Structure 1
Amino acid sequence: MKVMSLIKPYRIAMIIAWILMLIELMVELVSPLLMAKIIDEGVLQADLHTVTVLGLVLIGISLLAFASGISNSYIAYYAGQNLGYDIRKNVYAKIQRLPFSSLNQFPTSSFITRLTNDVTQIQNVLFMSLRIALRSPLLIIFGTVMALFVHAKLALIFVVAIPLLVVFLIFIMRKGFVFFQSVQKKLDRVNSVMRENLIGIRLVKAFYNRSFEQNRFVTVNRNLKNTTMKTLRFIELTAPLLLLLMNFCIVLILWYGNREMSFGGAQAGEIVAIVNYGTRITNALSMLTFIIMAFSRAKASSDRINEVLQMEEEVDVEAQDSANATLKGAIEFKNVSFQYFEDHANAISNLSFSVQAGETVAILGATGSGKTSLFQLIPRLFEAKEGEVYIDNQDVRRFPAQVLRQQIGYVPQESFLFTGTIKENIAWGKREATMEEIEQAAQDAQIHDSIMQFPKQYDTIVGQKGVNLSGGQKQRLSIARALVRKPKILLLDDSTSALDLKTEQKLLEAIRGYDCTMLIITQKITTAQHADLILLLDEGELIAKGTHEELLSTSSLYQKIFQSQNREERKENATAANK
């Protein structure tokens, strides 16, 4: 799909708009001829009847042009706004269908710019195409032809000058396209810095780094301003050059026309008509500079949007009877290797393990050991580079994404909440969830009592990203959102780090009542020791696996972690006892 294909539904509206525009153009081309006749046959001949009749005709066709212009503007506005709506809808839908790996090709700020500023440029240029973009070049062409019809010798000045100006304008348009691509990239950068700052505003204030952030924004904002000014200076330079040349042509016409009148080779009305055509052509050429600027920006914006529309979508499979069955939750990794980018090291290397349905698995490892990468392969957010991932003895690639992911509850490392009520955030995990199901999920996630303390309880509005909630509350709401869908596989990516030990134990105990396989990434031995299986990762490799007791006797690294955390726990207990 390309942007141009989205224009097709508005072809009839566009044709009607162009017909109305042609009516306007015809009136504009005929008006100087009528003016010439009024002067030569009416005013100079003192014929009031001719002046009255032709004057009424001129007023009549002017009213027709006015009505056509108003109707044209309405239709052009309708087509432009609807095209913008369609582009935004299709691009947004496309982004939803992209594989997780493709979303990393552009920063979030770039997607936002494409959905807003770039779409605006395209819908504006469609409006302009239906209103003035085609009218201006046609006026230049037919205005010159009509001028030749009125007086060929005088009009030859236009025939020489206008082709040179058109070549110049084509050069400007090509250069403008390159410049405006640079402008859009600078705008992406401004949006990126602004977005980062607003998301991390708490941290900025906590570190009192507002001066640094202001300077960073001023830098990218200045770069955008300078690039835009440079581009506009280049484009705007065309207008005075065009006016200078066309005004020089009009002066030549007046000078040469005066000579022709002296020898009887031209009439006053003809000269007025030629000058009138020259003025209209000058205005059209001036308008062309504005049109070229708009088309240059729209071309750059169209290419950026087409980049998104032509990206490869997530590969899915058709629903099959075997894949549509309810998952049991058995998971197996067979010699799995995975990397995010081809020129990067493996995030996971030759990983093999198996989990029976209903078991609990704890995954330990240092930062960057591949724990989150392992999680993301299960719901097929990413595809394994080598090896296979199985669920219920079936390759995950054979499951339709919807069938697979609707039965998986995923709680990411960073708790993300949407703007809306607490009830809506929990129900986001299951759109048709009843109030009873929502409350049950909240109780199991150990957040129900906290919710009931809010004045509006489940109707309490959650600020953007849960800004009005504590870290532990956000984590528990995220877990409730996963639990409400009664998942067959539950993935908790370090999702209990902000919880105290007692709350965490209650939470895990409640989850064990669910008929699901649970994988939990954790740094706490107290959490891991109750799991049916513990996986110990280091730099993407599985260096040990087994139960808590087995790893204590076989893994030196696990022993060190256990002893270290035990010492810390004893210190904390001693400190608490002394108090």
Structure 2
Amino acid sequence: MREFKTILPFLKDNRLRYVFGILMLILVDAASLYQPQIVRRFADLASTGVLTEKLLIELVAWIAGLGIFMAVGRYFWRVEIFGNGRRLEYWLRDKLFKKYLQLDQTFFNRNSTGDLMAHATNDVMMVAQSMGGGVMIMVDSLFMTAFSVIMMVTTIGVVNAVVALVSLPLLAVTIAKLMGPIQTRSRALQNAFSDLTTETQENLSGIRVIKACAIEDNRAASFGGVNDDYGKKCIQWTKVDSLFDPSVTLISGLSFVVFILYGALQIHRGMLSIGSFVATIEYLNMMVWPLIAMGLVVSNFQRGISSMARLNEIFRVRPTVQEVKNPADPQKSEGHIVFRHVSFRYDEDLPWVLRDINFELQPGHSLAVVGRTGVGKSTILHLLLRRYDVTEGEILVDGTDIRQMSFEALYRTFGVVAQESFLFSRTIGGNIAFGGEEENTDEVHDAARFAQVHDDIIAMKQGYETVVGERGVTLSGGQKQRVSIARAYYKKAPVLVLDDALSAVDTETESHLLAGLRRHRQGLLMISQRVSTVQNADDIIVLEDGKITQRGTHEALVQEDGFYQELYHRQLLESQVNTAEADEQGQTAAALRGEEA
């Protein structure tokens, strides 16, 4: 139960709701326990021949009154106890999602999306059920069992009650034996559900790739294996959980048999009245549910404990990148960036990704980073945005080490266009204004015009109100990139960061975008492998093997032997070849049209 310490703040805030709900539950149970006494009185009066019409009306009125009271009370305890379970579900899921938002890139690299979704759905639901329905079952079973025993003792005496309850110790032993296997198999079931969620999420996210590669059968077989494992875990858990009802029924049936034989003998001897006998049978019958409920309590709380343990593993994670206690939080940033002797590697046992990186981006200026794939270009942006902390050296923004800045202040400095354009399932206008306090239509349109995507948007039937599919699937690659650029521009941050953000646009659109970027009066940091993208930057640095090997303007670097010159000539040759091929295709098409004429 120590796993439930995490939800103590919630329990404290909602303790009055729990108290009121439990009180109403106890009152309803007490009313139901009084009903056998009415039946006992009726049986005794009827057997002795003294049951009058007045007494009959009185007994019926008592039963009707108790029924009405139980109906009203049952409504209130359901609202409070079950309602608290739903409130806990909201509270816990909200806490978990906020925890996700606090964790850094390292955590998400190590955990699959499907597993994290399983935590937010199935695990949260199991904990909420244990603290909603589980609390109700626990209180109900304990109270009904305890007070049924008390009522039996007061009705038929201690000796007779002991005979009636002779099988209870056997039930306690049975429950104790089943607790361990249930918790073990419950944890295995939750892990299998996470695997199933991960498999489903990955296949649905990659459905276009699956169909393009025609590997439906392969993925169906893979899913079938995971689904089969989950099914087996369900059966294993069910086999243990299903032992409760038969065990309780068998043990309670033993109590009935013993007391019926013993009670008949006592009635025959004149030591037990028929009414008391009937009342005791009623109490034994009422105890069947609490006895079954004890099994449900064990099952419910064991699953809740297993799920809470899985959630606590997330709550205990501490991000490797953390905000200092009293961070600097400047309200205005100029966008002055300095990398000073920055070196980085992902782990002590892994090779260096960056070594002794030094550069400076003045406010309002532009800087480009070029290099082969895998040399660490994007890592520079990850470090600048504190997705990871530098291993050595420091990064300064407006003279302040970013490790001393608040995350909010740091992120206000940059408008970022990531290498992979990610759009949310909302309108195009909503995607552009995403993160803003309030969507400004004029500024959204200005941002779209800047990104050269305004004409594409208004050509759509619903314009800016067009809802894009998941991850922007209804848009082309170039449109998604341009919407992402518009989103970054809309932010009006001091520095615009483009991580290979023009790779999916055509050359004409690229030239218009670059012309707009040249008019962009704020800082610009670009990462690209296309010379045409970076050639107008104020400063260009070339990365090779994690080190800066060249630095200068485009004009200077094309005259200098090295990677940049090779890249320039190779892309110039590719451009000339593409132009020649286009001209040849155009001439061929013209000739064909002439022959047809």
User: TM-score per shorter chain, which class?
Assistant: over 0.9
Aligned to 1:81: 86
Moved more, 237-246 or 544-553: 544-553
**Aligned-residue offset at 1:213:** 1.8
Q: Distance in 2 between matches of 1:428 and 1:107?
A: 25
The alignment status of 1:390 with 2:390, answered yes or no, reads: no
Aligned to 2:114: 109
The question of whether the paired residues in 1 share the 8 Å contact of 2:543 and 2:550 is answered with yes
Q: Which secondary structure state, in structure 1, belongs to the residue aligned with residue 396 of structure 2?
A: strand
What TM-score does the superposition give when structure 1 sets the normalisation length?
Answer: 0.93
The alignment status of 1:36 with 2:43, answered yes or no, reads: no
**Aligned-residue offset at 1:306:** 3.0
The question of whether the paired residues in 2 share the 8 Å contact of 1:337 and 1:387 is answered with yes
The total of aligned residue pairs comes to 577
Moved more, 330-339 or 180-189: 330-339
The alignment status of 1:545 with 2:545, answered yes or no, reads: no
The question of whether the paired residues in 1 share the 8 Å contact of 2:137 and 2:296 is answered with no
The question of whether the paired residues in 1 share the 8 Å contact of 2:448 and 2:486 is answered with yes
Aligned to 2:11: 7
**Aligned-residue offset at 1:247:** 0.5
Q: Distance in 2 between matches of 1:490 and 1:401?
A: 17
Structure 1 residue identity aligned to 2:323:
D
The alignment status of 1:20 with 2:27, answered yes or no, reads: no
Aligned to 1:125: 130
Which residue, 19, 44, 47 being the options, matches 2:50?
47
Aligned to 2:153: 148
Structure 1 residues 285 and 126: CA distance shift in structure 2, 3 A: same
Q: Distance in 2 between matches of 1:348 and 1:171?
A: 58
Structure 1 residues 341 and 286: CA distance shift in structure 2, 3 A: farther
Q: Which secondary structure state, in structure 2, belongs to the residue aligned with residue 353 of structure 1?
A: strand
Q: Distance in 1 between matches of 2:57 and 2:329?
A: 84
Structure 1: gaps of 5 or more residues = none
The question of whether the paired residues in 2 share the 8 Å contact of 1:180 and 1:231 is answered with yes
Q: Distance in 1 between matches of 2:287 and 2:348?
A: 57
Aligned to 2:323: 316
- Please list, as runs of the form range in 1=range in 2, the aligned pairs for 1:548-563 lying within 5 A after superposition: 548-552=554-558, 554-563=560-569
Q: Distance in 2 between matches of 1:328 and 1:519?
A: 14
Structure 2: gaps of 5 or more residues = 586-597
Moved more, 68-77 or 537-546: 537-546
> What's the CA shift string for 1:459-499, capped at 9, x where partnerless?
22222211111100100010010011222111111110011
> What's the CA shift string for 1:2-50, capped at 9, x where partnerless?
223223222111111111111122123222233223222x121011135
Aligned to 1:241: 247
The alignment status of 1:508 with 2:530, answered yes or no, reads: no
Structure 1 residues 308 and 158: CA distance shift in structure 2, 3 A: farther
The question of whether the paired residues in 2 share the 8 Å contact of 1:330 and 1:393 is answered with yes
Q: Which secondary structure state, in structure 2, belongs to the residue aligned with residue 259 of structure 1?
A: helix
The question of whether the paired residues in 1 share the 8 Å contact of 2:22 and 2:81 is answered with no
Q: Distance in 2 between matches of 1:539 and 1:2?
A: 46
Q: Distance in 1 between matches of 2:341 and 2:469?
A: 43
Structure 1 residues 496 and 24: CA distance shift in structure 2, 3 A: same
Structure 1 residue identity aligned to 2:574:
E
CA RMSD between the two structures: 2.4
The question of whether the paired residues in 2 share the 8 Å contact of 1:411 and 1:495 is answered with yes
Q: Distance in 2 between matches of 1:555 and 1:261?
A: 113
> What's the CA shift string for 1:199-241, capped at 9, x where partnerless?
2222122112222222222221221111112101111112112
Aligned to 2:465: 459
Moved more, 7-16 or 31-40: 31-40
Aligned to 2:198: 192
Q: Distance in 2 between matches of 1:536 and 1:412?
A: 20
Moved more, 203-212 or 164-173: 164-173
Which residue, 54, 66, 74 being the options, matches 1:61?
66
What TM-score does the superposition give when structure 2 sets the normalisation length?
Answer: 0.90
- Please list, as runs of the form range in 1=range in 2, the aligned pairs for 1:247-286 lying within 5 A after superposition: 247-286=253-292
